[in-house]
């Protein structure tokens, strides 16, 4: 409460009067007390400072320059996408162009094929004849390295192994073990004589069971027997063939039997002469030159 001017002149005081200096002193005391209380009060949890992340080299710019940059990037991506679509469209158009054929293309290709076939049919006959003679000569040279036999060779116990082992690896040796008193053996000898002339590159031989020192049981139950050798090794052992053919048979029967087992060379590999009209085999082509005016075809 403030004093009036009269009271101040008379020196009167009231309980509520205080000077400004007293107020300032009390304020200082209050501040000191508050400071002491704050120092004695328990401290709260400390706030961690924000972490500073490492600069990655880019930042988002939302200003005018950032907007312009984003617009340019958008236009670039749009241009690339447009160019890629155009390339795909051109590739698809090219593919469809290559796979589509018109009727004119088919007609042109058909005409070209016809012209090619006509050109093949008009090959020079002299060239074909020359080629044929050259192939025959090549066959002759190839067969010239294989020895020719053309007959049945008699073997003994002394030359049996030598006659088999001395031959070239490509020569097939067929040995007939026979008994003179057996009808089937006599028929087999006659058949082998015919086959020897028809297959001159096959070495047909025969040896009696007595000369080969065979047992009595073999002579009674094993003959006629054919042993087939090639390159010195036994590749066929055909026993008691009378069960297969009987006591009387022909060369064609033996030929078919041996051919089925793969013991005879193919006739296609032999240079033979056939009659042009009947196709009958007349003879095996010799090494000498045949006359071109012959009435026979050479296979």
Reading the block at residue 70, the tokens are 């984003």
Domain ranges, residue 232: 153-261
49 found inside a domain: no
The span from the CA of 131 to the CA of 141, in Å, is 15
Is 294 a residue whose pLDDT tops 50? no
Cα–Cα distances (Å) from 225 to 217, 232, 242, 245, 268, in that order, read: 13, 18, 9, 12, 28
Is 162 a residue whose pLDDT tops 90? yes
- What residue has token string 């001159």? 200
Report which of 188, 186, 189, 200 is spatially closest to residue 151, judged by C-alpha positions: 200
Is 202 a residue whose pLDDT tops 90? yes
Average pLDDT, the chain: 76
190 found inside a domain: yes
- pLDDT value of position 63: 65
Give one DSSP letter per residue of 84-124, joined into a string: HHHHHHHHHHHHHHHH---HHHHHHHHHHHHHHHHHHHT--
34 found inside a domain: no
- pLDDT value of position 35: 53
Class of residue 204 by CB neighbours under 10 A (exposed 0-12, middle 13-18, buried 19+): buried
Comparison of pLDDT for 84 and 99, the residue scoring more: 84
Taking only the tens place, the pLDDT of each residue in 230-280 is: 999 999 999 999 999 999 999 999 999 999 999 998 765 555 555 545 554
Class of residue 291 by CB neighbours under 10 A (exposed 0-12, middle 13-18, buried 19+): exposed
Is 97 a residue whose pLDDT tops 90? no
247 found inside a domain: yes
125 found inside a domain: no
Dihedral of CA 94/97/100/104: which sign?
A: negative
166 found inside a domain: yes
> What pTM, to 2 d.p., does this model score?
0.46
Supply the CATH number for residue 205's domain: 3.40.30.10
Lowest model confidence (mean pLDDT) among 68-72, 140-144, 158-162, 278-282: 278-282
Reading the block at residue 187, the tokens are 């028929």
Class of residue 278 by CB neighbours under 10 A (exposed 0-12, middle 13-18, buried 19+): exposed
113 found inside a domain: no
32 found inside a domain: no
Query: How many domains does the structure of the chain reveal?
Result: 1
Lowest model confidence (mean pLDDT) among 71-85, 124-138, 172-186, 188-202: 124-138
Contact of 3 with 17, CB cutoff 8 Å: yes
């Amino acid at each position: 409460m403030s004093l009036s001017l009269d009271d101040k002149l008379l020196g009167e005081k009231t309980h509520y009067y205080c000077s400004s200096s007293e107020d300032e002193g009390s304020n200082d005391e209050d501040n000191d007390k508050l400071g002491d209380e704050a120092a004695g009060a328990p401290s709260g949890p400390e706030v961690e400072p924000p972490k500073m992340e490492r600069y990655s080299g880019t930042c988002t710019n939302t200003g005018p320059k950032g907007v312009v940059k984003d617009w340019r990037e958008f236009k670039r991506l749009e241009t690339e996408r447009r160019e890629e679509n155009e390339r795909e469209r051109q590739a698809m158009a090219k593919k469809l162009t290559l796979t589509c054929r018109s009727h004119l293309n088919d007609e042109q290709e058909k005409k070209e094929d016809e012209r090619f076939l006509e050109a093949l049919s008009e090959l020079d006959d002299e060239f074909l004849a020359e080629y044929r003679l050259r192939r025959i000569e090549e066959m002759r040279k190839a067969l010239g390295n294989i020895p020719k036999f053309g007959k049945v060779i008699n073997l003994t116990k002394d030359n049996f192994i030598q006659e088999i082992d001395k031959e070239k690896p490509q020569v097939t040796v067929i040995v007939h073990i026979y008994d003179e008193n057996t009808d089937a053996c006599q028929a087999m000898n006659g058949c082998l004589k015919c086959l020897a002339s028809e297959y001159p590159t096959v070495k047909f031989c025969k040896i009696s069971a007595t000369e080969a020192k065979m047992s009595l049981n073999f002579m009674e139950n094993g003959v006629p027997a054919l042993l087939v050798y090639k390159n010195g090794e036994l590749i066929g052992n055909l026993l008691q063939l009378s069960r297969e053919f009987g006591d009387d048979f022909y060369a064609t029967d033996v030929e078919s039997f041996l051919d089925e087992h793969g013991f005879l060379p193919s006739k296609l590999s032999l240079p033979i002469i056939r009659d042009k009209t009947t196709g009958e085999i007349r003879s095996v082509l010799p090494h000498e030159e045949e006359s071109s005016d012959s009435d026979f075809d050479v296979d």
